[in-house]
Structure 1
Amino acid sequence: MQKLLLILAGLAGASPLLAQQAPKKPLDHTVYDQWQSVTNQKISNNGKYVLFQVQPQQGDGTLYLKTPENKTLRTISRGDSALFSADSKFVVFRIKPLYQDVRQAKIKKKKPEQMPKDSLGIYSFETGKLTKYADVKSYKLAEEASVLAFLEVKAPVKEAAKKAPADTLKKITDQLLETKKEGATLTVVNLPTGKVSQFEAVTDYQISKPGNKVAFAVSAPKGSKDVQSGLFVQDVVSGKSKRVSIGKGVYKNLAFDDAGKQLAFTAEKHPEKALEKPFTLYYFNFSGDSAAAIVQPGGKALKTGWAPSGFGKVMFSENGEKLFFGTAPNPIPQDTTLVEFEHAKLDIWNYKDDYLQPMQLKNLKKDLQRNYLAVIYPKQGNKFVQLEDEYLRDSYLAEVKNAEYVLAVTDTAKRISLQWEGATRKQAYLVSTKTGARIAVNPRANKSRFELSPQGKYAIWYDFDAKNWFSFSAATRKTTNLTAKTGVSFTDEENDSPTEPDPYGVAAWSKDDAAVLLFDRYDIWKIDPSTGAATNFTNGLGRKNKMRFRYRLPEDKQKFIDPKDDLWLQVQEDDSKQWGYYRKSLASTKAPERVVLAPQGYSTLTKARNADTFLYTKTSVSQPADVYVSRDLKKETQLSSINPQQKDYNWFTAELVHWTTPKGFKATGILYKPENFDPAKKYPMVAYFYEKLSEGLYKYQAPAPTPSRLDITMFASNGYLVFTPDISYTIGEPGPSAMEFIDSGVEALTKNSWVDATRLGLQGQSWGGYQVAYLITQTNRYAAAWAGAPVVNMTSAYGGIRWESGMSRQFQYEHTQSRIGGTLWEKQDLYIRNSPLFHLPKVQTPVVIMSNDADGAVPWYQGIEMFTDLRRLNKPVWLLQYNGEAHNLVKRENRKDISVRELQFFDHYLKGAPAPAWMVKGVPAVDKGRDWGLQVSQQ
């Protein structure tokens, strides 16, 4: 064999013509790691520089710094998380440790503090100089200046081992109380001047927006004579620093105003052994010697027993007049007299609880940190207004934080129905930041989605009952129906689940809240929120041509559209699935101008803040998502060219297919074929499905270890046809609906001579896994099936828990994906009829089930029910249980493993390949970890 390979290699080297004519290789499982993707692409504010990272699936990536003309300025091995400075003169980035070094450290079971650390890189575009700093934990770059601050990784300190508390509440509470922490070195760099300052024992830090000041907290080591504890501020220009708060403690939520002239923070300076450690809010305006405590625990303005929260975000309004922060009741101190092994540990479920116990436990840390928004006016004698409380606890600030009102939403006393509805009824209020007065927005609590306009002049919401968008004016208290007179629906016209359809959403607002842009299925509407006067902004082109117009603000931190702005509208055609862009000025009444429409996928556009230059990616089935830059999307420059090795492998093509189902529904799907497809041959075909996948016709799919889905690229490259049908559903018939579309689509394709009707397979994950399980109880057409995380018994799954969220599963059967449309006792026959479990004796198709013991979405006992019952019926069935894994596989080693087994399974049943040992004789528990059963059996 080795001699033959040498001969072939010699022929390839001697004859370029032979090499060109040699057939391309099929993909195999060794190629995954080398396949690359582009991430973290950014354009500088002046539009003169672009950065992006090329990352292999496993290994060391490369950061590229380029010009829009594709001139490479620098490549940085392992560069990551890069940011441009505001003046576009510098780029700052992490440098990750070598992948091999990290791997070896893991092999040696190094502790987290002993693992290889990130470095920090600074590159100057003017000088071409690259500066590096080792062992960096975090960094921050001023929003409007080239000032950088970063914290080093502190040296590991040996501590006595602590036994983790046994119960969850104590464990989380202890973690929250452990607020004292040791500091590390903070480095502040004035990038234009190169001036560097360093400060020891820093635990937290913040840079002002204009970069004129840096605040940092210091926790001096015990016995230190040179380092003082407290909160310090450095003047970046002069380099001088000043301690503005004295004492060792915990300093959190450091916040400057936009001008860098005011500072606020929370701090607690209690003894370490204190059982109660409430925080105080401090304020400093640089006119005095030290920060003043402006809200203290038990202060007159606060509720009795309340204090500023250490977990609430502190921030100033844009004009610097308001200071927002969180307040909270003082936590109940732990009883230190309790002996752990002498008290009960249990969870008590009460039918009156707002949330089920699993959901409460899942959100325990969040609830322990819960705080309530308040505002104080430091320049007005510390006038204080509490905005939230236990009843009204979720509020949203306007993008322009000078707005008088915040939008607050509550579902208090209406939460129990979440168990079966999947959502709660909500009441919204505008809360005055001046007086705390609450103005009801919607007349009654209902299922709604709320949004506050950027200037805070309007609250808008979509009412699921009325199926329209409404606005409420803060000035006039007037409610206006924004969409009733348009004559079109603003909700999902294709909704096929037993719940109210979702709205298509909000695109953006114009300056001064003058107009809001709303989506219908195809078009964008420009609507005056004060009157409801509506104009079809896309002039009806979308609905007329079945093109879906969408828009997203193209600049980082852009809050609204200026009237003079041109809007670049992303489109996709319904029928062809092609993508492109149209262009129109916000003030124009003319129809949008077509810029580009092509059989490719386009990402959303990112615009340089101070230049008309756009950054984006394009893809197709055979074209990875490379980076492009352009001013008009017609003349463009390609900046990356990843995966050149693809040319050596047999790839695939994709085409839309259409057919009519037995009930007369018009159906669509995608058929993937090997690149070397030969219509004179017969091919095995695997159908893979979820709900609707045809929008991804031009999506690039790199070969990658699968989290549980079918690797279309791998299968097509290895001589399979892959069919992905879109499925529409009839309420109460999720199983028969899947059968209607999938089976009829497969039947239509088998009429082609090149589809081998005797070698058909099914693959699906989660909802797709359920559909696989159902289909094999209804037909014996398929030679092999693979069901990942399937539900097979809706009667037992109905009352189960989604452990990743703690929610009951009832809502999804009554209202969402499972589509039964009623309770188990109302529609018992539908639950049984749609459950594969009750029809398993009819199964003849060999099937593999993946069901993992840490699945947080589908109870893993569903897979066990399917396996044990098919086993009892003596059907060919296998169950893969990945230990400690979730609904979709997370660990790469497990993804690689299942990718191998999946191809082995289908190769055996659809291509006649020998079966691997895990299928023939299994892998006994005594061999676990020593033998994976992947070797091909000779039996």
Structure 2
Amino acid sequence: MPSQSPRYKSFLLFLVLLLILPAMLSAQNGKLTFEDIMKWEDISDVEVSDDGNWLIYSVWPDRGDGEARVLDIGTGSNFTIERGENPEITSDGQWVGAYVKPPLAKQLRSDNNDKPVQGFGLLNTNNGETVELDSVKSFAFSNDSRWLAVLYYQSKEIEEMKSKNKELGTGLLLKNLQADSEITIPFVNEMSFDSTSTYLAYSVVDTSGTENGIYTIDLGNEALSPVPIQKVENGLYQNLSWNGKNRQLAYTSASMDTTYEAGDADIQIWNSNTDALKTAVDADEVDAKWALRSHNDLQWTKDGKRLFFGVLDRELIDIDKQEQVNEQDTSGTVDIYDPTEILDDKEVDVWHWDDPRIKTHEKETWNRRKNHLYRAVYHHDSDEWVQLADEKMPEVDISQNPEVALGNSQVPYLKLMTWDGFYNDYYVVDLQTGQRQKAAEKIQYGADLSPGGNYIIYYDDRDWHLYDVENELYRNLTQANETPFYNEDHDYPSAAPGYGVGGWIEDDEAVLIYDKYDIWKFPVDGGDATNLTVDGRDRQISYRVVRLDPEQPAFGKREELLLRGYYDKKKNYGFYTARVSREGTTRRLEAEKKFDFVTKAKDSDRVFYTRESYDEYPNIWLSEGMRFNDVRQLTDLHTDLHEKYNWGTAELIDWKSLDGETIQGALIKPDNYVEGKKYPVLIYYYRFFSQRAYEFSGISNNHRPTLPQWVSDEYVVFLPDIRFEVGTPGFASTKSLVPGVQKLIDMGVADPDKLGLHGHSWSGYQTAFMITQTDIFDAAIAGAPVSNMTSAYSGIRWGSGLARQFQYEQSQSRIGGSLWEYPELYIENSPVFYADRIETPLLIMFGDEDTAVPWYQGIELYLAMRRLEKDAVFLQYRGEPHHLQEYPNRLDYAIKMKEYFDHYLKGKPAPDWIEQGVPYRGE
């Protein structure tokens, strides 16, 4: 063999270095740090112009200042609005408006009495020029793109006056975007453009009350002179709602007394074509039990023939008003021995066994109940109105159908919801008479009125049912079909839900219903059902309809549908098309990726979507139509993940549970993974997590570990699925997960002495339970875990005020019966009863204002382990709910999670908080 020259050897060395240098840099410099996470930017608030030529979106970091971005899709030009969020674009694409947040540093430096408020940025897409306004509360563009209306925040002086008059208006800026002219109007309470952009209507509430009124401005008149429609001293005019068909304005009209409290209201309608004003509904016409007030919601139907509004329960209004009077009344002499006066200050709640709601639920729902609007409808052609809802049937949906609406009531089941779940009765409501006919009883999973108002479809007892409104007939649509239409993976004690409805076919001809995989068309006339997608079950791909136009009531009889498909076993996604009129699908876009529909341009065929996987950020893509044969990427955030970080790649693995059932999971390995090397493993889970092989992991400092951060530090991350069983949720979780961990050990991936288990909430419970059954894990973190089901069972979910009994008997906790029926199951599934078996160091975390899981559940487990001298640390975050909200606490917990596992799994020195705790030294 000929000898090699020094130059050739140097060249070979250069090639070797060229090949290994990226891996060396990744290994040495590719860690995703906490500072990187704080600076990590995400896309949100995506909108497109009507013609599809402009894309607008926000880009904000996990912590810090972001911006709104405006992309010219044709040229690729970009504009920005610094610190802009929630951007909106005019229909012609020429103007973009966005709220402008104050700099974070300025917010942090300010005290609560001097907090900076948001501003507004207006960008001209013709040249990128931006105008900024300070102290902006809200803004709106007219439909013709010619006008901008901006409502300002109050000045400090006026804001102080609002403590007496909460309806006091603020400054309004009306700007002509084409002529660059503007006017300012003081004390505006509400404002609204009509749909034709002919008028701006607004109401005024000023400090003296003398100019209170409702006004319009003719936008076609250069003078822009306000013209009063109705003006009364101390009047209150609200709920401005334009009839899009004929430019008629509806609003409520009331008067305020000397305490600035508004009384009953009338509903007025102003006809802009005739300048006529009429009272559509007089407050005196309403039954004495009910009140028509300014607190309201006026909505016209699209045909302009009906106006929906609401009435309030007068008794609840009076109770609330009296409570406010009692709180403010401190005048007069006091007889310290008068029992009546003494008892006026009593504070007691009476819990009766037959209360419809338990007291905590009554309190949590009080504001909602006393402000609940009971729906009514005004018929414009007949000039008559009828109340539709009442205390027996509180809810009526707004219907575009001229004859009927769908009403519902859970009133008969209020007591039952404490332990058995949520049910509703559904009614057909006649819009002319208000009469109602019960169509379905004790329904758990909702009902839907067809667009034509001819049918109600609902799911009950594992089947879909159709109710014929006119003939009052019922038909079970799915009973004769051998395909199951109930959730085949349902592992809860409650009845299995269905997979949902895909939509209606025009003229109420048929309805689309999902099974686990396919989309079926069921004719309403009793004809045979058609499996439109045909092969979903054979290919194990779940097809679902993409609603391109959310306002479209029904699909055409031959319409081409865009479908999104998900492979149940392979976990990847695709886009497909199918025809309503025939069987079969056409594949349009498919890859080992996850695809999500974002939006479709209103006036073009352009479809916007995202594409992602574990190692591909979900940037926004464009398809020129539903064929997906002409696609391109529009945004380019984080396209250098592997170059910049030791990001890792994900793969699917499967194993057998202890019962022999096939389980799947996602396994994520670092880029510099070395075959044969055993790695520390972070196990993170909840229920089904294997699909995350094709999902981009959220990058944020919070209660969830940022997975790529751990991978970049040469952890292997394991995301297993869990299969549960009713009655034994803790054991089922253990039987699913532990064999998966053993699979990693057998594969040579996992170091058996470096296994970390992490869960929060429901998986926090699983973590706490699992370490009582096995010592395979070397450290564990349990966030907000239930540790004692016997004490948690009759507790309260303080966020909703509901009892926790339902959760154990019917829902997530999966016991399947009451504490007195199955006391042994509550004990056997409670970690605290087996705390003496724990050999795994445990980090417990709770916010002490957790409204989902009582934080004393963490105390119970901590106290048990403390007494048993088990290795346990309990992190109590003061004033925090179920998920940490304050950024300093989120960052602290994220750091502590990493420090905890780094110590127990990597052997790094333990910080003091792990080694010896942190003594209390005051707050």
Tell me the equivalent position of 1:411. 410
- Distance (Å, rounded) in 2 between the aligned partners of 1:237 and 1:349: 62
1:186-265 correspondence runs (5 A)? 186-222=172-208, 228-238=211-221, 239-247=224-232, 248-259=234-245, 261-265=247-251
SS in 1 for 2:312: strand
Aligned to 2:386: 385
CA distance in 2, matches of 1:317, 1:759: 63
Q: 1:679–1:638: structure 2 CA closer, same or farther, 3 Å change rule?
A: same
Alpha-carbon distance between aligned partners in 1 of 2:550 and 2:131, rounded to the nearest angstrom: 27
Q: Distance in 2 between matches of 1:240 and 1:378?
A: 29
1:564 deviates by 4.9
How many Å separate the matches in 2 of 1:272 and 1:728? 64
Q: Which residue of 2 aligns with 1:542?
A: 536
Q: Retained in 2: the 8 A contact 1:848–1:880?
A: yes
Correspondence 1:460 to 2:444: no
- Point out the more displaced range, 644-653 or 914-923: 644-653
CA distance in 2, matches of 1:721, 1:389: 58
Supply the distance in 1 between the matched residues of 2:169 and 2:750 (Cα, whole angstroms): 66
Cα distance in 1 between the residues matched to 2:303 and 2:209: 43
Is 1:521 the counterpart of 2:516? The answer is yes
| Corresponding letter in the other structure for 2:539 | N
**Which residue of the partner structure matches residue 433 of structure 1?**
431
Give the letter aligned to residue 303 of structure 1.
Answer: D
Aligned-partner Cα distance in 1 for 2:265–2:903: 65
Q: Name whichever of 634-643 and 805-814 sits farther off.
A: 634-643
Report the count of equivalent residues. Answer: 881
Partner of 2:119: 118
- CA displacement at 1:181 relative to structure 2: 2.6
Tell me the distance in 1 between the aligned counterparts of 2:453 and 2:518: 26
Deviation string for 1:842-877 (max 9, x for gaps)? 111110101221111111110000001110011111
Q: 1:275 offset after TM fit, Å?
A: 6.9
Question: Residue in 2 aligned with 1:606?
Answer: 599
Could you report, residue by residue, the CA deviation over 1:672-697 in whole angstroms, capped at 9, with x for unpaired residues?
11121112322111222111111221
Instruction: Tell me how far apart the structure 2 counterparts of residues 192 and 439 of structure 1 sit (CA, whole Å).
Output: 54
Query: Aligned residue for 1:618?
Result: 611
Task: Find the residue that maps to 1:817 and give its secondary structure.
Answer: coil
Q: How does 1:10-409 map to 2 (within 5 A)?
A: 20=22, 22-24=24-26, 25=29, 26-69=31-74, 71-105=76-110, 109-111=111-113, 114-125=115-126, 129-143=129-143, 146-157=146-157, 180-222=166-208, 228-238=211-221, 239-247=224-232, 248-259=234-245, 261-273=247-259, 277-286=263-272, 291-299=277-285, 302-330=286-314, 331-332=317-318, 333-334=321-322, 336=325, 342-380=344-382, 382-398=383-399, 401-409=400-408
CA apart distance, 1:158? 6.9
CA contact (8 A) 1:213 1:260 kept: no
SS in 2 for 1:157: helix
SS in 1 for 2:44: strand
Alignment partners' CA distance in 1, 2:245 and 2:106 = 44
Q: Which amino acid aligns with 1:643?
A: H
What SS does structure 2 have at the residue aligned with 1:485? coil
Matched, 1:703 2:699: yes
Indicate the residue corresponding to 1:660 in structure 2: 656
Whether the 8 Å contact between 2:523 and 2:529 is mirrored in structure 1 is yes
User: How far apart are the structure 2 equivalents of 1:682 and 1:748?
Assistant: 13
Residue aligned with 1:413, SS = helix
SS in 1 for 2:156: coil
Given the alignment, which residue of 549, 571, 574 partners 1:577? 571
Alignment match, 2:494: 499
**Which secondary structure does the structure 2 equivalent of 1:23 belong to?**
helix
| TM score, norm. by length of structure 1 | 0.90
8 A Cα contact 1:461 1:471, kept in partner: yes
Cα offsets for 1:528-574 (capped at 9, x unmatched):
234364211112x1101000111221235333323454211101111
CA distance in 1, matches of 2:23, 2:763: 40
Deviations 1:366-407 (A, max 9, x none): 111112111122442x31211111111111123xx2431110
Aligned position for 1:7? none
Contact 2:413 2:422 in 1 (8 A): no
Code of the residue aligned with 1:678 in structure 2: it is V
Residue identity over aligned pairs, in percent, reads: 31
Q: CA deviation at 1:492?
A: 0.8
The code of the aligned residue for 1:440 comes to K
Give the CA deviation at 1:276.
Answer: 7.2
Q: Distance in 2 between matches of 1:64 and 1:500?
A: 47
Query: Cα distance, 1:243 vs. partner?
Result: 0.9
Distance in structure 1 (CA, Å) of the matches to 2:658 and 2:21: 49
**Equivalent pair of 2:795/2:804 in contact (CA under 8 Å):** yes
Q: Structure 1 408/532 Cα, relative in aligned 2: closer, same or farther at 3 Å?
A: farther
Query: Can you list the C-alpha shifts for 1:34-80, whole angstroms capped at 9, x where unaligned?
Result: 21111122222112222222222122223222233461142322222
Amino acid corresponding to residue 889 of structure 2 in structure 1 = N
What secondary structure sits across from 1:568 in the alignment? strand
CA pair 620-446 structure 1, distance change in 2 beyond 3 A:
closer
SS in 2 for 1:30: helix
Q: What is the RMSD computed on CA atoms of the aligned residues?
A: 2.4
Within the alignment, does 1:780 sit opposite 2:782 as a pair?
no
Distance 1:802 1:504, change over 3 A: same
Would the alpha carbon gap of residues 275 and 33 (structure 1) be closer, same or farther in structure 2, given more than 3 Å must change?
Answer: closer
Q: Which deviations, in whole Å up to 9, do the C-alpha atoms of 1:729-748 show, x marking residues without a partner?
A: 12111111011011111112
Superposed displacement of residue 362, structure 1: 1.1
SS of alignment partner, residue 626 of structure 1:
strand
Q: With structure 2 as the length reference, what TM-score do the two structures score?
A: 0.91
Tell me if structure 1 keeps the 8 A contact 2:121–2:130.
no
Is the contact made by 2:51 and 2:602 (CA closer than 8 Å) also made in structure 1? yes
Deviation of the 1:664 alpha carbon: 1.0
Unaligned runs of 5+ in 2: 1-13, 331-341
Please report how far the alpha carbon of residue 17 of structure 1 lies from its aligned counterpart in structure 2 after TM superposition: 8.9
Residues 1:682 and 2:682 aligned together: no
CA 1:203–1:532 in 2, change beyond 3 Å: closer, same or farther?
Answer: farther
SS in 2 for 1:894: helix
Alignment match, 1:8: none
Counterpart amino acid of residue 506 in structure 2: K
- Say if 1:767 and 1:790, in contact at 8 Å, map to a contact too: yes
Alpha-carbon offset, residue 16 of structure 1:
8.9
What is the rounded CA distance, in whole Å, between the counterparts of 1:718 and 1:272 in structure 2?
67
Structure 1 moving runs of 4+ over 6 Å: 15-19, 158-162
What amino acid is aligned across from residue 658 of structure 1 in structure 2?
D
Q: Secondary structure at the match of 2:35?
A: coil
Contact 2:262 2:294 in 1 (8 A): no
How many Å apart are 1:133 and its aligned residue? 3.2
Aligned to 1:799: 794
Distance 2:459 2:148 in 1: 43
> What residue identity is the alignment partner of 1:518?
I
Cα distance between partner residues in 2 of 1:475 and 1:552: 31
For 2:262 and 2:618, how far apart are their aligned partners in 1?
54
Q: CA 1:556/1:50 → structure 2, altered by over 3 Å: closer, same or farther?
A: farther
Shift of residue 605, structure 1, vs aligned partner: 4.3
Shift of 1:20: 4.5
> What letter is aligned with 1:371?
L
Contact 2:620 2:634 in 1 (8 A): yes
Correspondence 1:925-936 to 2 at 5 A: 925-926=920-921
Note the C-alpha offset of 1:613: 0.7
- Which amino acid is the alignment partner of residue 827 of structure 1? Y
Corresponding residue for 2:883?
888
Instruction: Please tell me whether residue 449 in structure 1 is matched to residue 454 in structure 2.
Output: no
